[in-house]
Structure 1
């Protein structure tokens, strides 16, 4: 039976009071433990530890490339004998909640687990203090798994620690097949949306020119796997609300707040282009799906200041967003299939490179103006949305992401 976060956390909840053991243990700390913890806390630069962790995963190699395929092969060759020898031990629930300065037996267990996965230097012995070395190792583990590097063994970190080594090996093998299937089809310049990582790469000359955090489709409204070309940029666009969102979301919002459309500057039009008022619609029914809903350009527009178009049968696109806070989350699966782009001004300038005159400063000026403008891309940029949950870089660092859409569980290599 494959491990998943819901099953794991459900079993923890069933344990009741035992799941809160770290807090109980803290109450039993001696005064000497407190002195030791204070000494540790005073002398550690956690910011430097996070920077070290980030440096381990940094790479110019595109996730879809023969370089990444080679790096995955090397990682597999390391994991295979390790898994054959039994892999790492399952972490006990006592490591849940551990953080810098804690002192108890579970800390030693956590250290040996991170030694086994290469996040700490191997040693025959380990003490019970959550010290600087362990803080650096936990942050490194978190960055490798796409988690916020806070150095604490929270829910998401505990789940990632609990995935068995043989499942990680299977993940590496499956994703090697995916990367190899795609790498040969790519040109010199393209963009890649990696859905499980919720990231975007702008690739040029075999190297990543830009990398952006993204928000992608949630599990019940998935971002589709596709290949297309970015052909047009819409500055300060109108947002025409899709019928699916009208039916699933907008009607509900209007029943909760009759002023919702007014607050977010969304207008209603019938089939003849005549504007209607919200009071003219029966919100207790599905009548609203018969009309067109259009949000005006501006700061509250759901697409932000720009929409990035590419032909596809799913009516999805890339866009800006007014809810920038989502980019700071671990699990960025919130959209209805479209993809929101952090630092979108830089990405748009990169797309429009061959148009001439479109640097980041000019793009920012267009955003600030709220002026409606459509720009055709003179050299349409290939774009690929893909599903890679494991990869490695030339430094030997292996990264993993959750199988959010369960494509790994299904063993899917291709998605046509």
Structure 2
């Protein structure tokens, strides 16, 4: 049986998609189980990095598999049910759903009523969701159905284009680096070929994308000021002040002239019906309201972007985390900066202590660490698990996998 998204072996690649479907149709009656689980759901993530040589080799094998599936007619389209399917429901669409999940290795062939959404199906859907960066609810909702019905030939093109990206990114890697995968909204901290930590991220909006770049992290700013970029002054701050003149005071944002902080200006000295505000510097004080949170991670680049904490922790729980103006917000940022500062002799207790005191402190890294902002929408980890993400910035040339928002089936 093919298992496209599980650990690869000779047996995994020995059966054609058509044979898999034929075997599925002739299987014995399913035993009705609603308490079953699949071990494969635990294998979605790997301790080896996205850019590992092993993962690149696996990707070559998976591309051939997906080409075979596409050449054989692809996978069946799952029709939209009247309501989201969940554990225990019966529906005429479940048999086709089972076939679809079997072809990509998310579901093993087992006994049971074909029209019942049992725990085997729910676990397989949850595994599919994890592989596609969707909330792992085990419920067949609209976003899951959209991802499931993207044709096999489109997935082939997506894998092919990303293979070239990953191959290029894998050249010249340091032993120690940070990878920001923008479409996945995820960060990997890698050292000596192993993932030291993974972090959920919030990246740039579609109209304010996070840039592609390579640099080196050179400094950590604890309890930082936030200087509002001119682009945000123009797009966001001026409209907010037109609606609420108390906004700056409420957010503890002070006004100065660029290059001269000897005098602080009042908001009523600025004509908010023009773009005059772009001639001033707006600086937010450190503290709970600060848009950078408790820490900022600096690296040289021409885009004026950086990694940082955030007071809006709830954004990390969303499925589509594309809310920033180009910078990247990091969940569990203290874990990341503890790792970055380890060559300085710092530990987690010291990091926590500085943040707790509220002290403004800039710490240069003794070992500057490579950082890459990359655009990877398809990859295969070293355990053979296939991952896909939406082409949020329309850079894959495959419109059917562009980010489409979060519509749900009710």
TM-score by length of 1: 0.84
Counterpart residue number, 1:301: 290
Structure 2 CA distance for aligned equivalents of residues 218 and 275 of structure 1: 32
Partner of 1:17: none
Cα deviation for residue 109 of structure 1 reads: 2.1
Q: Does the CA contact (< 8 Å) of 2:240 and 2:247 recur in 1?
A: yes
Task: Output the CA distance in 1 between the equivalents of 2:288 and 2:310.
Answer: 9
Shift in alpha-carbon separation, 1:103–1:125, aligned structure 2, 3 A: closer
1:310 and 2:270 aligned: no
User: Where does structure 1 differ by over 6 angstroms across 4 or more consecutive aligned residues?
Assistant: none
- Give the total of aligned pairs: 366
Match among 344, 360, 374 for residue 333 of structure 2: 344
Mean CA deviation greater in 390-399 or 190-199? 390-399
Q: CA deviation at 1:86?
A: 0.8
SS of 2:93's partner is helix
Answer whether contact 1:390 1:401 (CA < 8 A) is retained.
yes
Q: Deviations over 1:350-392 (max 9, x none)?
A: 1111111x11121112111111000000110011111111111
State the SS of the aligned residue for 1:326.
helix
**Equivalent residue for 1:407?**
395
- 1:126 Cα deviation after fit: 5.3
User: Partner residue of 1:133?
Assistant: 120
**Are the structure 2 counterparts of residues 163 and 256 from structure 1 closer, same or farther at C-alpha, using a change threshold of 3 Å?**
same
**Is the aligned partner of 1:152 residue 2:148?**
no
Per the alignment, residue 12 of structure 2 pairs with none
Change (3 A) 1:95 1:197: farther
CA contact (8 A) 1:316 1:337 kept: yes
Gaps of 5+ in 1: 1-38, 412-416
Structure-to-structure mapping, 1:75-224, within 5 angstroms: 75-94=62-81, 97-122=84-109, 127-224=114-211
Is 1:289 aligned to residue 278 of structure 2?
A: yes
Q: Are 1:378 and 2:366 an aligned pair?
A: yes
Q: Which residue of 1 aligns with 2:315?
A: 326
Question: Does the 8 Å contact 1:241/1:293 carry over to 2?
Answer: yes
**2:384 aligned with 1:366:** no
How far 1:317 moved relative to its partner?
Answer: 0.5
1:355 has 2:344 as partner: yes
* 2:366 equivalent to 1:397: no
Match of 1:277 in 2: 266
Q: Counterpart of 1:268 in 2: which secondary structure?
A: strand
Does the Cα contact within 8 Å between 2:55 and 2:383 map onto a contact in 1? no
1:58/1:107 CA distance change after superposition, 3 Å: same
The alpha carbon displacement at 1:104 in A equals 1.6
Which one has a larger percent helix, Structure 1 or Structure 2?
A: 1
1:220-299 residue pairs with structure 2 within 5 A? 220-271=207-258, 272-273=260-261, 274-299=263-288
- The answer for the alignment partner of 2:3 in structure 1 is none
Deviations 1:91-131 (A, max 9, x none): 21227611122112112222222112211114698521111
1:88 is displaced (CA, Å) by: 0.1
Cα displacement (A) at 1:141:
0.5
1:316–1:338: 8 Å Cα contact kept in structure 2? Answer: yes
